[in-house]
Each structure stands twice: as C-alpha cells, then as structure tokens.
Chain A
Amino acid sequence: MSTINDTRPAEALRDGDLGAEQERADVKPLGGIAGWLDDRTGGAKPTSHFLKKVFPDHWSFMLGEIAMYSMIICLLTGVFLTFWYVPSMTQVVYDGSYVPLQGITVSDAYRSTLNISFDIRGGLLIRQIHHWGALIFVVSVFVHMTRVFFTGAFRKPREINWVLGTLLSMLACIEGFAGYSLPDDLLSGTGIRAMNGFVQSIPVVGSYVSYFIFGGAFPGEAIIPRLYSVHVLLLPAVLVGVFTAHILFVVIHKHTQFPGPGRTNNNVVGYPLMPVYMAKAGGFFFIVFGIIALVSAVVSINPIWGYGPYDPSPITAGSQPDWYMGFADGALRLLPGFLEFQTFGFTWSMNIFPGSILLLPLMWGIIGVYPFVESWVTGDKREHHLLDRPRNAPTRAGIGVAGITAYTVLLFASGNDLMAIKLQLSINDLTQLFRLLFFVGPVIAFWLTKRICLSLQRADRQKVLHGRETGTIWRYPDGRFEEIHAPLSPFERWALVQHESPEPLRISAEADENGVASPLARVERVRAKLSHFYFSDRVAPPTPSELEAAHHHGDEVDESHLLTGQHEAIDTSETSDSSSTPRETIKADRKRLT
C-alpha cells in the first residue's frame, strides 16, 4: 500500500485547511466516547492524520526505535530506583546483608544503592536493567546516527533534526555520566575525581569553576545531590523535550526511504501506523525490553559492592568510564604530559584540557555542522526524501568512516591497560601505536572507504550494462569460453541507476568584464576545491544511451544469437520492451542447459 502526495509535504499539511464550519459539515460526526472526546478536544483529525501516517520498511529504520525504547525503559526503571536511592553524602555505617562490607563507614548514597542491590526485592535486576538499558541507549543512538549519516538522511529539509539528534546524543552521554556517578562507589568516585581534574584544567578559571561545581573543595558534600538533580530532573526533561521535537520533525518531514520502484522524492511507500506499525513498533518495544531484561538477569553490570565505597585515596586497576565517555578518557591517555607549561603564574594543562573539556564540544560540533558544510560545498538546495546508498556518496562515506576511525582509536585507547594484559603487550607500545593511529588511521580509512565505494559503483555499472553474472560458462563452437550474463529486471536496474552523480563545481567568473576581481572569488575558490575533493573521482551511473549501446554490443546479444531457438526468453528480452524480462527465465535457462 502506498500513499502518494504530489505536492511537497509542508504544503500538503495545509491542504485540508478549510473554513471551520465547512469542515464540520464535511466531516461525519463521531459517535460514542470518541465523539464525546472529539467535541471537547478536537483531537480526532490530528489523531486520524497521525494514525494514517505511512512509514517505509527497512530494518535500519528501527535503530532509532531501539534508542527510543531503551530510553523509555530507563525512565521507567529510574523511577523505581528513586524510591529507595538516597542522594546524600552523609557518612553512615553499613549494616546490610553484604558481609564483606559490614561495619564499614560509607556514604548514604552508597548504602542505599547497596540496599537496592541486596535488600530490596527485585532491586538488583531493576538496577541492572537501568544500567544495561542506558548502555544500549547510547549505543543505538550512535548507530542510528551513522545510519542517518551514511544514507544522507540529514540533507534538506532535515538539517535541524540532525542538529537535534546531535544534541540528543551529547545529552545522552552526559546523562549517563551523571547517573554512573550517583552510587558513590570507588569507580564512580574516581570518575568524579577525574571530572574535577578536567574542570580544573580549564585555563585561568578552572579552579573557580571546580569550586562552583563542588560547592567548595573536592569532594565536599554537594556533588552527589547536585548530580542527582541533574540526572533525574534537568537532563531527562531536556532529553524528553528534544526527543519529542525530534519525533515531531519525523512526522512533519515524513520518513525518508531507500530508492526503489515506485518510490519517488514526493511519496512515501510503506505501511500506515495503524494498524501495521502500531503492531510492529509495539511488538519491537517488547522485544527490546525482553532482550535488555534477559541480559540484565544473567550478566552483572557495575558491581558496586565489589568496588567498595568511595574514598579519595584508593583506586582500582582498570578504572574506566562507561563506554560512551571512553573516547575522552582515551584522548587523555594519549595526550603527552609535556604539553603542560606555565606562564604568567598560570598553569596551562594542555595535557588534559584538549582531551577532556575541548574534545566534547569539538566532536559534537563537527558532527552537528556537517550537513551545512556538505550542502554549501555541493550547492544543493533541493529537498531530499530519497536516501543515498552509501556507495553512491563515496566522499561522504569516506569522511564518515574516517571520523568513526578517529573515535574508535580514542575509545580503544581508553582500554589500553586491559588490552595490554589480555594481549600480553606493553601498555607503552600500545599508547604509541594509538597516537600514531589517531593521525594515520582516519586517512587510511578515508582512502580505503572511498576506493571501496568507487569500485562498488563500478561493479554496479558493469552489472547494469552487461547484466548479472550467472556462473554459467558457455563454450562456443570455436573453442572460446564465456560466462553468460543475465539481464537485470527493470526493478533491479532502477535501484542501480537512479542516483545522481554530481560533477565538481566550476569557479564562476573570477573577475567581471572590467577585470575587477569578484569579492566572492576567494570563497568560491575554496568551494570549488572542496567540490573537486568531493566529486572529482566519480563513477556516473549508466545513461539510457550507454545502456542501449551495451545491449547492442554486449554479451547477451551474442548469447541470444548463439542460443536461438533454445532460449526464447533472452531473445524476447532483447527484442521487446526491456521491462518485460522476468527473472525466472534464468532459472529456466539453467534447467534447459542441464
């Protein structure tokens, strides 16, 4: 089933705007409770509009759903945890049921988390669901983000939504960090201690900001209650707000779809929300919940009783933040110590500051600004509702993989000590290797990805021009061998040839007719260079005339001559309209040949 809107979506929304009275006359009044509600809220029309919303089908479109559901799961389990958690750093003596900590002086926050784990029925399971849910939340946000990036779904009109998504991914990480710090165990306390150091590394104002955050010297008594407010009140509110806007934009823009037969820039081919996606998405929620609950029931996460209570003097080997903050931790491990220096009585902690404080806005800033850079370089101001196959945007794919490589190098660097033990390597060598890889890796990754994309495009081109390789080798009477190529169906072919392949922009006249240099010339030159960078290595999809030429001189023509009488199917495909080639003919061919 498909719905086709011939007009642009934004206008389509206003299509039904008639006068209120006429509208009332047009619409059949609802009966029963629905009618009673509609009379008082006017909700029937938007609800019906929403329920008829069409979504395309593809597994990768469900990555965002995983994020949404795990966020909901975290909200639900988080409420449960707040019933027993005490956000206080008051020192108390632990007397609960975990023997190896009995009689130890701990903070109230730590004791209450231990009680949730050992003395509240189901508490540990809920805690583990909350933590695993948080991990998979951030994982799926990032994976969803890569899907959107590589398919070009961030292009006009969806740039704002991309920025909102970028913001969401950053907020998710900060929310995670705040929550991870709450139990006040040794590991999370070490995390707060590290955060204190990061803040202090801010040039000039660092120590003041640290005093402001901690309400005095580290650790003080204020940080846990403050992080608690941020974790359960401020950030969830912002997250849910931005998330609602994110979803609303999906409804307004309509969902993008992969190119295919009948799918155009002006329609959405798929199924309506009611009943199909209500069932599918609803079911998927329970699948996600089920997987998280299953893993939480059998795999331990954050065993705070093992870490022990926070105390500024001890530390444990293998102190790492949760994975989503790992890249910053890795950056810190890679930064050489000699970058710290002193001038004018100030210490410039350039061995810490770039990796901890600067990296976060820098990374998310680059991600957020990318759609605008690309649209400026390409000069493309059109709306795009059809997705790119990643191979059809080789430079973008290369940039994406280069970025992921840099991120992954930092993330892995954060686990350098564990890799050193488990792989029996030297941690110093690993650190040097990661330092090198951080600079070299992205370049290699870019080049490799771009080359792979281009060769995939060439393979597609070959396939369109000469057909699919059947694996059947034919021996000719004169002794030569040739593989039989089967023509593609028009449906298959369409997916391979529909995309655009822009040529690099040329610099428009640098000087006007009087020889006066255009003030925009310099900017234009940069743009032309970037455009050259993006599109100079291009593999254009075959044009209809190329296709025609290939058919006249290609392999199939030979085959069809050769196999005359035996292989009518191929013959007809050559003579008649190309759209009538059924795929079954190849199988039929094989049968007859064998």
Chain B
Amino acid sequence: MKALAARRRHPAAIAVLILLGLLVTGGAYSFLAPKQAQATSVTADSVATGKKLFLANCASCHGLNAQGTASGPSLVGVGAASVDFQVGTGRMPLAGPAVQAPQNKVKFDEEQISALAAYVATLGPGPAVPDGEYTTPIVPGDEKAAGQSLTNSERIARGGEIFRVNCAMCHNFAGAGGALTRGKYAPALTGVTPTHIYEAMVTGPQSMPVFNDTNITPAGKQEVISYLDAIDNQTNVGGMTLGNLGPVSEGLFAWIFLLGLMIASAVWLGKKAA
C-alpha cells in the first residue's frame, strides 16, 4: 500500500486511473449488457463491410442504394431479419430468375451475413434478427414456464393448433410443403432452423404473409417452432412416412408395391404344380 501511496502523485497516475476506469466500465458493460446478437456486431465497421458486400453481390438487382429496380424489390425497411433469412438459407443471392427463390447453398459466412443485415437495417426500420428467447424450442413436460398458464406440453399442442390454422394450408400438416399457383410453392419446414422460421413469420418472404406480433405473439411463434421441432424429432410410430404427403403417396404405394407383391405371389403360386 505504501508503494502505491508513494506513487499517487506520479505524472502517469492520472492516465493509469482513467485507463483502469475505462476497462472496468467497458468490462462490466460487456458482461451485463443484454445479449443482442446485433448489438455487438452492429458497428460502423460492419455496416461498411455490409455495404461493400451489398454493392458487390446484391446491387445489380436491388439497386446501388437498395432502392429496388425492375428485377429486384426495394430493401428499405425490410429489416435485418429479412436479410438473415434470405441470405442465411441461400435464397439470396438468386442463382437465376425463377418464379420463386429456391433454398440453396449458403454463400456467405455468419459474419458476412450479419454485416449485410446490419447494412440493410440502416436503410430503414424493420424487424431485427430475433434473440434466443423465442427461438428456443420448448422442452415437453408438465412444468410451466414463468408467466404461462399452460404446461410446456400443452403449449406445444397449442403451437400445433396455431400451425394448423395459419400454416398447414400451404406448408402441409407435417410441414412437408405444398404447391401454390403457377409453379410457386410453400417449402418443406423440416430441417429449417428455429431462427429462420421465426424470421420467415415476421418478414413474410416471397408468397408468405407476414405474421406480426399482433397476429401471433412471440410466445405463440415459439409454440409453433416448438411444435415443428416436436413432430420433426418424434419417432414415426406408424413406420415409414412416405413423405407425409397424405393419401396420394399411400395410393401410389398400394398400387405399385402392395399390388406388385400380390401379383408376384399370384404368378408364383400359379406356376406351382398342383
């Protein structure tokens, strides 16, 4: 203590003190601040990187200022969530003109995607990339989460109800996908990350309508995600699902495999000497 006291009038003391104070404040902030994925990554730097990436990869269709052209819509106000969904699932950049952007190989890494998202988010206010609170699937069980009147299992079942009322007409009861008009389609939901499902609901990509927080609350969205997760991971008690496409695939299977086996055994039996 004596050594410290002796040097308190040292010319460098003030600088050291300021440095220390900054370190503590900065450390405490980074430790205590809400863990927003964007919060840390949105810096002037990443916005600049995003803009560069945008100009190199997106501007030919969306315009130099993302104002939109004849071949691509304006990105003002679509929000970071939209970019994270479109680029994060490989739909953008579009490989070629088509009725609908198909899911594809992802062309950018996480950092580049968030930089692009940060840039697009600066163009106008829009939905942000959701944090983990509502994109983590609920674990089934009889416990109740804070502020919920239903048990976890019942919340998953309610997610199923929300899904059947709002989503199944296009995406099929099991999320296997379905056809829309003129070659457009609702894609399969199996193997899609919870974040992307959430983003799709809030941004309404392509033919999909927007389900804002008044339509389906964030908790409701989490229930839908949990339901999809539950049916995605359940054991198929009945055996092979034939793609969960309903009676068409069952009928095809009956005609080809069942009838095929029957006729093969009829021919075999007919050949047997009496």
Interface residues, chain A, CB within 8 Å of chain B?
Answer: 57-60, 62-63, 65-66, 99-104, 117-118, 124, 128, 132, 135-136, 139-140, 143, 186-187, 271, 276, 280, 283-284, 287-288, 291-292, 295-303, 306-308, 311, 313-324, 326, 414-418, 420-421, 424-429
How long is the Cα–Cα vector from A425 to B249 in the complex, in angstroms? 18
A197 to chain B, nearest CB (A): 17
B68 to chain A, nearest CB (A): 26
Interface segment out of the listed B37-45, B121-129, B169-177: B169-177
When the two chains form their complex, are residues B181 and A102 in contact, meaning their CB atoms are under 8 A apart?
A: no
When the two chains form their complex, are residues B234 and A100 in contact, meaning their CB atoms are under 8 A apart?
A: yes
B189 to chain A, nearest CB (A): 11
CB of B34 within 8 A of chain A?
A: no
When the two chains form their complex, are residues A136 and B247 in contact, meaning their CB atoms are under 8 A apart?
A: no
When the two chains form their complex, are residues A300 and B185 in contact, meaning their CB atoms are under 8 A apart?
A: no
The verdict on A135 contacting B173 (CB below 8 Å), with A187-B246, A318-B245 known, is no
When the two chains form their complex, are residues B247 and A320 in contact, meaning their CB atoms are under 8 A apart?
A: yes
A181 to chain B, nearest CB (A): 13
How long is the Cα–Cα vector from A81 to B254 in the complex, in angstroms? 22
CB of B248 within 8 A of chain A?
A: yes
CB of B274 within 8 A of chain A?
A: yes
For residue A272, which residue of chain B has the nearest CB? B274
How long is the Cα–Cα vector from A428 to B185 in the complex, in angstroms? 12
For residue B262, which residue of chain A has the nearest CB? A66
CB of B259 within 8 A of chain A?
A: yes
When the two chains form their complex, are residues B258 and A317 in contact, meaning their CB atoms are under 8 A apart?
A: no
How long is the Cα–Cα vector from A360 to B176 in the complex, in angstroms? 32
Interface segment out of the listed B112-120, B160-168, B196-204, B212-220: B160-168
Contact partner, B157, options A58, A102, A424, Cβ 8 Å: A102
CB of B250 within 8 A of chain A?
A: yes
CB of B231 within 8 A of chain A?
A: yes
For residue A290, which residue of chain B has the nearest CB? B265
For residue A138, which residue of chain B has the nearest CB? B254
How long is the Cα–Cα vector from A548 to B241 in the complex, in angstroms? 63
When the two chains form their complex, are residues A315 and B258 in contact, meaning their CB atoms are under 8 A apart?
A: no
How long is the Cα–Cα vector from A284 to B242 in the complex, in angstroms? 27
Q: A59-B271, A187-B246 are in contact. List 19 more A-B contacts (CB 8 A).
A: A57-B270, A100-B156, A101-B160, A104-B160, A104-B161, A128-B238, A143-B259, A186-B168, A280-B274, A283-B269, A287-B269, A288-B265, A297-B239, A315-B169, A316-B246, A317-B171, A317-B186, A319-B246, A323-B247
CB of B244 within 8 A of chain A?
A: yes
A74 to chain B, nearest CB (A): 13
How long is the Cα–Cα vector from A320 to B258 in the complex, in angstroms? 20
How long is the Cα–Cα vector from A63 to B151 in the complex, in angstroms? 53
When the two chains form their complex, are residues A418 and B164 in contact, meaning their CB atoms are under 8 A apart?
A: no
A370 to chain B, nearest CB (A): 23
Q: Which 4 A-B pairs have the closest CB atoms?
A: A317-B178, A323-B251, A300-B238, A59-B270
CB of B227 within 8 A of chain A?
A: yes
How long is the Cα–Cα vector from A45 to B161 in the complex, in angstroms? 65
A140 to chain B, nearest CB (A): 7
Contact partner, B240, options A58, A300, A324, Cβ 8 Å: A300
Please tell me the size bucket of the interface on B.
35 or more
The verdict on A99 contacting B274 (CB below 8 Å), with A186-B173, A283-B269, A427-B182 known, is no
- Pick 27 A–B contacts, CB within 8 A, sort by A: A62-B266, A99-B140, A100-B156, A100-B230, A100-B234, A117-B237, A136-B262, A139-B254, A187-B247, A291-B265, A299-B238, A299-B242, A301-B250, A303-B238, A307-B173, A308-B164, A313-B165, A316-B164, A318-B176, A318-B248, A320-B246, A322-B247, A323-B252, A414-B248, A427-B179, A427-B183, A429-B183
A553 to chain B, nearest CB (A): 40
A262 to chain B, nearest CB (A): 16
B254 to chain A, nearest CB (A): 4
When the two chains form their complex, are residues B244 and A303 in contact, meaning their CB atoms are under 8 A apart?
A: yes
Chain A CB within 10 A, most for which of B99, B170, B247, B266:
B247
For residue B162, which residue of chain A has the nearest CB? A314
When the two chains form their complex, are residues B227 and A100 in contact, meaning their CB atoms are under 8 A apart?
A: yes
When the two chains form their complex, are residues A298 and B168 in contact, meaning their CB atoms are under 8 A apart?
A: no
How long is the Cα–Cα vector from A579 to B167 in the complex, in angstroms? 74
**Inter-chain contacts of B156 with A (CB < 8 A):** 99-100
A3 to chain B, nearest CB (A): 14
How long is the Cα–Cα vector from A296 to B242 in the complex, in angstroms? 13
**Inter-chain contacts of B171 with A (CB < 8 A):** 317
When the two chains form their complex, are residues A102 and B230 in contact, meaning their CB atoms are under 8 A apart?
A: no
When the two chains form their complex, are residues A421 and B179 in contact, meaning their CB atoms are under 8 A apart?
A: yes
Contact partner, A427, options B181, B186, B255, B271, Cβ 8 Å: B181
Contact partner, A323, options B150, B169, B178, B254, Cβ 8 Å: B254
B138 to chain A, nearest CB (A): 11
For residue B241, which residue of chain A has the nearest CB? A300
For residue B169, which residue of chain A has the nearest CB? A315
**Inter-chain contacts of A322 with B (CB < 8 A):** 247, 250-251
How long is the Cα–Cα vector from A424 to B99 in the complex, in angstroms? 11
When the two chains form their complex, are residues A103 and B179 in contact, meaning their CB atoms are under 8 A apart?
A: no
When the two chains form their complex, are residues B183 and A418 in contact, meaning their CB atoms are under 8 A apart?
A: no
How long is the Cα–Cα vector from A296 to B254 in the complex, in angstroms? 11
A15 to chain B, nearest CB (A): 26
**Inter-chain contacts of B148 with A (CB < 8 A):** none
Contact partner, B231, options A58, A306, A320, A428, Cβ 8 Å: A306
